[in-house]
Structure 1
């Protein structure tokens, strides 16, 4: 079998029926270009959900109960962007005979503002200042003890009491922060505990499992470090659901387009059926006829896929420069608490899944027109043409 001959023949069939080829190719290109952009947009949404959730406070890796002998510099690996040191202490806030037990977290405000989004969630007053004797209360606590910015309250931290000025009130939309915690700067007379917590922010593009393995090889106890995927199972599940929904969309769209192409291609084959009959009369086998039709389908799909992928990539590049603002639809969504500006992100899956699925569906769809030609006798085909 001369493959190059059949390839040239398939090209000539497509070129001679250029209008049909163009229409079918356009449908496939449009569907693939749209899906490349949608998958890239879904990637961008997943990225921003992770950034909002981990960048708010916890970082991508959280360290707990770290002994004081471990310094932040020891955790600053090449892939680490920042390590925020925090001291969480059980305490009580008191104002006008009203008490509220909660954990008070001593932080370094300048570092928090430089690397986390938490400071953006202050809804009254201001964020903390370095070294000042002041406190940042969650909204629920402030309402229970009747306090507002500018008031002076008593903060009982361990066995010590401190007069702290209320710098501000925050609300993040995250229950673990909004109900159980208050924040104060690390100041001179504050008695710190023997252990501390770390929020580790890693550089973009770093593989999370590789980062965890690196900490393990460095001699740190792995159980003291947890990636966000373990601490936020709801977010992990939501991202997986997002991927499933996008994949379903890919199969539905390309399935519908392929069925439409199959019908159109069948009409195209029937309109040229006499030519296939002549090929059969010249000794071309049913297998070779099927290969010829499949070559036409593959050629059309490959060219259309290339055009569609290119169009999708151009759309991603265009929208990726300025981003897509979804704040109107995410103002009450805690997964978009810091920013709702989505930047579509191309991935290997975005540029490979739609063409691969399209080709698979086109192979299935081509079975119908092949059956129309192969299942009939040569004389019947010629007489019908």
Structure 2
């Protein structure tokens, strides 16, 4: 949990000036909810004590032609209607991936901004980080129940940035479509393999039936072969997939020669695509393919179980 304050201000460095959005954060708490402290490309992060240090977005730093160590004059309107102004020293430059923040954002100590805006210890928002990837809605519901009747607004990241949430939703739908196609192709492949196996071994299966093997035992035999095939495929496929994903996680897929940086929903994306290893996705895919293999083998297995020994042994 981290309290924050916001403010719009005019920033000046020498004969250059630009409008900027100030974000006041608690340097001790903010790293618990965001990775802003890891987005520095120059300088150092904010210290725990207020010292009139300011971190500029990369685009804002270029507009002001300001670098680490330069002094900035910050002028804004305070909460009580008065004009607030202060002298800050540039402590670093940020490249966050957020188009708005990099273009016009500036990070300062929460208490420095509270003093500048005459907030008297108040904050504009409190950021919470859910424990799990999909835990934001339940966390927001808990917060709403706790803060009910206080006139406070609780919003999830998806409500704050609906365009990005929609893009991720479409990406998820696309992934499920691709997975469905893969499962369909796999099921057809298994069906063809097992059906050909039954047809090629018709005489052998007829002999087994003549020796006393019951129809359900023949069905079980074919299904066991399918299960063994699925297990071998799962081990080999998972191993090769982890090797490929490990490369993507470590080095990524560099598309620099094809595309440059692009943005969507206010978030900048680089040309290097990186992978992510998620155990739940691996388990779900392996279990799904195993189930598809067994289901696709049911018809060939039933066909094998219905073979008549005399007719089967006559076939060459």
TM above 0.5, yes or no, is yes
What are the within-5 Å matches in structure 2 for residues 143-154 of structure 1?
A: 143-154=62-73
Contact preservation (8 Å) 1:298, 1:359? no
User: Which is helix-richer, 1 or 2?
Assistant: 1
Contact preservation (8 Å) 2:222, 2:301? no
What are the within-5 Å matches in structure 2 for residues 61-140 of structure 1?
A: 83-113=1-31, 116-129=34-47, 130-140=49-59
Query: In structure 2, what is the Cα distance between the partners aligned to 1:251 and 1:206?
Result: 23
What are the within-5 Å matches in structure 2 for residues 150-165 of structure 1?
A: 150-158=69-77, 159-165=83-89
Contact preservation (8 Å) 1:254, 1:358? no
Kindly tell me the number of residue pairs found equivalent between the two proteins: 296
The SS at the match of 2:11 is strand
Residue 373 to residue 304, structure 1, CA distance change in 2 (3 Å): closer
Contact preservation (8 Å) 2:144, 2:154? no
- How much has 1:86 moved relative to structure 2? 1.3
What is aligned with 2:139?
A: 211
What is aligned with 1:325?
A: 250
Question: Which of 68, 87, 93 matches 1:169?
Answer: 93
The unaligned stretches of length 5 or more in structure 2 are 78-82
- How much has 1:162 moved relative to structure 2? 1.0
What is aligned with 1:355?
A: 287
Query: In structure 2, what is the Cα distance between the partners aligned to 1:306 and 1:208?
Result: 37
The SS at the match of 1:224 is coil
- How much has 1:155 moved relative to structure 2? 0.5
The unaligned stretches of length 5 or more in structure 1 are 1-82
- The TM-score, its normalising length taken from structure 1, stands at 0.60
What is aligned with 2:221?
A: 296
- How much has 1:197 moved relative to structure 2? 1.6
2:213 corresponds to 1:267? no
Contact preservation (8 Å) 2:11, 2:73? yes
Tell me whether 83-92 or 225-234 shows the greater mean CA deviation. 225-234
- How much has 1:370 moved relative to structure 2? 5.0
Contact preservation (8 Å) 2:140, 2:156? yes
- How much has 1:140 moved relative to structure 2? 2.5
1:161-193 per-residue CA deviation (whole Å, 9 max, x = no partner) reads: 112222222222211312332222223853443
